[in-house]
C-alpha cells in the first residue's frame, strides 16, 4: 500500500472510531472489552493517536524495526502485560468529564500532523526506531480492531470502512503466516471453524 493510501486508511479508520465514540452516549461505565469498561476501551484506542504524536516528537537515528509485522513480533510479550490494561484505564480516566469531546480533540490535533508527513519520518517506538510509513499501519490496525470491539460492546454494526479493512486484513494475514497460524485463519475465514484460540 502506498503512503498516500496508508495515510488515507488511517484517516478513515480514525473517523470511523470517532463516529462510533459519538454513539456511546451515557454508556461509558458499561462493559467494553475484557476487564475494560467502555471508557477504558476508548481511552486505550485513543492511544493510536497519542503514540503517533509522542513518537514523532522523539526522532530515531536508525531503522531498527522495518515493518508492521516486525513491530508486532517485537511487542508481543509487552502486549500481554498487565501494564497494558492499566494504561487503558489511565487513558480512559484522562479523557475527563467529556470523553467523546476529548477524543475528538486528540484526533483533531494528530490527524493534521500525519497529513503533513511524507512517511519517511523516523520515530522512536517502544520496539525501536521505525519509519512512520511502517508504524502507521499498526495504528490503523489498532483503530480497526478496537473500534470493532467498541461497536460490538455498543450493539452497533461491524461495518469497517473498506480501505482500513483491507489494510488490517493484509496485516492479519502476514502475522498469521509468519506466526505459523495461516491454516487456522484460512479455516476460520472460510467458515470451516470458529475456533481462533490457536491464533
For residue 174, being part of any structural domain is answered with: no
Short-list 100, 74, 82, CA closest to 22: 100
191: left (phi over 0), alpha (psi -120 to 50) or beta: left
- Count structural domains, the chain: 1
137, part of any domain? yes
Let me know if residue 41 belongs to a domain.
Answer: yes
Q: Which domain holds residue 11?
A: 3-161
37's enclosing H/E stretch is: strand 36-37
The grid coordinates of residue 160 equal 469497517
Can you tell me the distance from the alpha carbon of 199 to that of 190, in angstroms, rounded to the nearest whole number? Answer: 15
Whether 183 is covered by a domain: the verdict is no
How far is residue 93's CA from residue 86's CA, in Å, rounded to a whole number? 11
Task: Please check whether residue 190 lies inside any domain of the structure.
Answer: no
pLDDT at 79: 66
State how far the Cα of 116 lies from the Cα of 114, in Å rounded to an integer. Answer: 5
Does residue 89 sit within a domain?
yes
CATH number, residue 65: 1.20.120.450
Q: What is the mean pLDDT of each run of 10 residues along the chain (199 residues)?
A: 96 98 97 95 97 96 96 80 84 95 98 97 96 98 97 96 97 92 89 65
Amino acid at each position: 500500500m502506498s503512503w498516500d493510501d496508508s495515510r488515507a486508511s488511517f484517516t478513515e479508520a480514525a473517523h470511523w472510531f470517532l463516529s462510533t465514540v459519538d454513539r456511546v452516549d451515557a454508556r461509558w461505565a458499561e462493559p467494553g472489552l475484557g476487564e475494560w469498561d467502555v471508557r477504558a476501551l476508548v481511552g486505550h484506542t485513543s492511544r493510536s493517536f497519542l503514540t503517533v504524536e509522542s513518537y514523532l516528537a522523539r526522532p530515531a537515528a536508525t531503522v531498527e524495526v522495518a515493518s508492521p509485522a516486525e513491530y508486532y513480533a517485537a511487542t508481543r510479550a509487552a502486549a500481554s502485560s498487565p501494564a497494558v490494561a492499566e494504561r487503558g484505564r489511565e487513558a480512559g480516566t484522562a479523557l475527563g468529564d467529556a470523553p467523546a469531546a476529548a477524543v475528538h480533540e486528540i484526533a483533531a490535533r494528530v490527524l493534521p500532523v500525519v497529513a503533513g508527513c511524507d512517511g519517511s519520518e523516523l520515530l522512536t517506538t517502544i520496539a525501536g526506531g521505525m519509519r512512520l510509513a511502517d508504524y502507521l499501519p499498526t495504528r490503523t490496525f489498532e483503530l480497526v480492531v478496537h473500534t470493532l470491539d467498541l461497536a460490538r460492546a455498543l450493539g452497533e454494526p461491524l461495518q469497517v470502512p473498506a480501505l482500513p479493512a483491507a489494510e488490517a486484513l493484509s496485516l492479519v494475514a502476514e502475522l498469521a503466516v509468519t506466526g505459523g497460524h495461516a491454516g487456522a485463519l484460512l479455516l476460520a475465514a472460510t467458515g470451516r471453524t470458529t475456533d481462533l484460540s490457536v491464533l
